[in-house]
Amino acid sequence: MLDKKEGKGFCIEDVIEEFDALTKDAGRVQRETLERILAENGEAAYLRDLGLGGRTDPESFKACVPLVTHKDLQEHVQRIVDGDSSPVLTGKPITSMSLSSGTTQGKPKLVPFNEELVQSTMQIYRTSFAFRNRAYPIGNGKALQFIYSSKQSRTKGGLVATTATTNVYRSQQFKRTMRDMQSQCTSPDEVIFGPDFHQSLYCHLLCGLLRSDEVQFVSSTFAHSVVHAFRAFELLWEDLCADIRDGVLSDRITVPSVRAAVSRLLRPDPALADALRGRCAGLSSWYGVIPALWPNAKYVYGIMTGSMEPYLKKLRHYAGHLPLMSADYGSSEGWVGANVQPELPPESATFAVLPNIGYFEFVPLREEEPDQDLERSAPTVRYEKSEPVGLTEVKVGEEYEVVITTFAGLYRYRLGDVVKVAGFHNSTPKLHFVRRRSLLLSVNIDKNTERDLQLAVEEAANKHLAAEKLEVVDFSSRVDASSDPGRYVVFWELSGDAEGEVLRSCCDSLDRAFADPGYAGQRKVGAIGPLELRVVRRGTFQKILEHYLGLGAAVSQFKTPRCVADSNSKVLQILCTNVTYSFFSTAYD
């Protein structure tokens, strides 16, 4: 642990004490935060046009400013992108733009980014690290971090446009904070900011192996990146050992800056190479490879909720006995909460809202029974109530959509995330992420979420693929509305070849596994067509990743699109042109 007396500027007890003080009267802190946001941005044209007139109280704010989505702000964002330096959304000029991953809507969104977002990011990092380090203390060492920058471009108005994570990695605050928390990456900056993520991944692994006894934890922004790294390691480990033995970097690394930076770290080390080779040879199907190669690692860390949950089984396989910890809750638009209960498994992770990093509202969702003339087996559907509630007004056990107001010019912005209130830390709520509101499979009255899809895939795979020693590498889906009646299409990439009868059984199990009673009822009466399972070639989801990287996404920020809309034509093209087998369910025949 670090202490202020060491001159590092970071004391775990002080950070936790500060967090507790903020959350004891979260309602007051929220009012003060909104006042500060509106005072700093009162000259913004957006707020002036809405008639706020410099007022900073919550009542005036809610009366004048409507709930919005990104589409509602596109005209204002475009003015900033095109070079309008006047106060459009914020009092101070926006310095750069963040690109969302684009996996939800099929293309990245541009979101304003400024120094205040960096500061809130560092506060989130410090808070979660303090609670994490109290539960799992780490010593002086390094972190094997699979982090990558994305492409950086210039907008018409000259602003840097890149991912939110890259905007953070570029900041000096990030480097100082990581140094203070003893979380410095084993890789030099040239690797993180390298233009070819395949080469950066190889060098991350190599640099981590060179400091194998110093690594205290393994992390990435998303769980997918850690799984992706160790799937690559299974193919690369002998080359990595050869590099360490000879002290010469592989010819596959061709980027001059990356090659020079990593070569400076290499010295011939046959003893380390032999030790690593022996550890790899002693593993069965790569179970526990992370603690085997990094014996002083205490845990594996990254965002593991939502669309990352399907990777947990494989991640646990690689992590062996090491605990998995879900990182904090935020988005390209801004941060929401920190994980202050790191001992909870990722599936149960909650995030305590920091009341001073933004102003938060929550649109309540309630269950209503469908009309009586609908099929009796139709599901309960969640509708929103009319008025959002404040941070301290939410109720335990209820579901809400998150609305944020930030220092970077987003006012009453609907994130599109559905969360459930799991409890409170003092007077601030602890949120459990449920799903993205827009990610639904639906033909008519059926409503199946991303989580429902994940559970259906897991049930079918566990029932029929486990005995064949096969696994689903990745998956996606769509609704085919061109058929009559419409039907679900599920895409699977498998780790090996499966017999046709096994895949037919998987298809039937998938169809039965959707728990939504509306789906089952509509299937029984033929209002929804038979589910189609399409098996795609190995490497198909890698092609989808490459597509998003080409749009400017960072690999560490990538999320596989689980429900692909027809408007996402490029991803659909990649999936459909790589289908090798197709099966239709007979579950309801």
pLDDT category, 381, cuts 50, 70, 90? very low
Instruction: Residue 263: name the closest of 277, 238, 246 by CA.
Output: 246
Fill in the amino acid letter for 455.
Answer: L
Q: Answer whether residue 373 shows pLDDT above 50.
A: no
Q: Are 94 and 76 in contact (CB under 8 A)?
A: no
pLDDT in tens, 161-177: 777 777 777 777 777 76
Poorest-pLDDT segment among 214-218, 566-570, 573-577: 566-570
48: how many CB neighbours lie within 10 A of its CB?
Answer: 13
pLDDT at position 119, please? 87
pTM of structure: 0.83
Q: What is the C-alpha separation between 491 and 251, in angstroms, rounded?
A: 36
**Span 416-469, pLDDT tens digits:** 999 999 999 999 999 999 888 776 788 888 888 888 899 999 999 999 998 888
The count of other CB atoms within 10 Å of the CB of residue 407 is 23
Look at residue 3 and tell me whether its pLDDT is greater than 50.
no
Using the predicted structure, report yes or no on whether residue 383 has a pLDDT greater than 80: no
Q: Sheet with 160-163: list strands edge to edge.
A: 110-113, 96-99, 160-163, 153-154
pLDDT for position 105: 54
Share of the chain above pLDDT 70, in %: 92
pLDDT at 182 over 60: no
What pLDDT sits at residue 179?
65
Residue 341 in this model has a pLDDT that exceeds 80: yes
Give me the residue label for tokens 């889906």: 477
Q: How far is CA 383 from CA 418, 437, 578, in A?
A: 12, 11, 38
Average the pLDDT over each of 47-61, 139-153, 281-295 and give the range with the smallest value. 139-153
How far is residue 192 CA from its own chain's centroid?
Answer: 18
Question: Both tokens of residue 246?
Answer: 């000879």
Q: CB atoms < 10 A from the CB of 482, how many?
A: 8
Higher pLDDT, 557 or 425: 425
* Rounded alpha-carbon distances, angstroms, from residue 470 to 37, 228, 477, 544, 584: 52, 17, 20, 22, 21
More confidently predicted of 518 and 386: 518
What pLDDT is attached to residue 83?
87
- DSSP bridge pairs for 112: 97
Q: In this predicted structure, what is the pLDDT of residue 146? A: 93
β-bridge mates for residue 423, sequence order: 430
Measured in Å, how far apart are the chain's first and last C-alpha atoms?
63
**Of 565 and 188, the one with more pLDDT:** 188
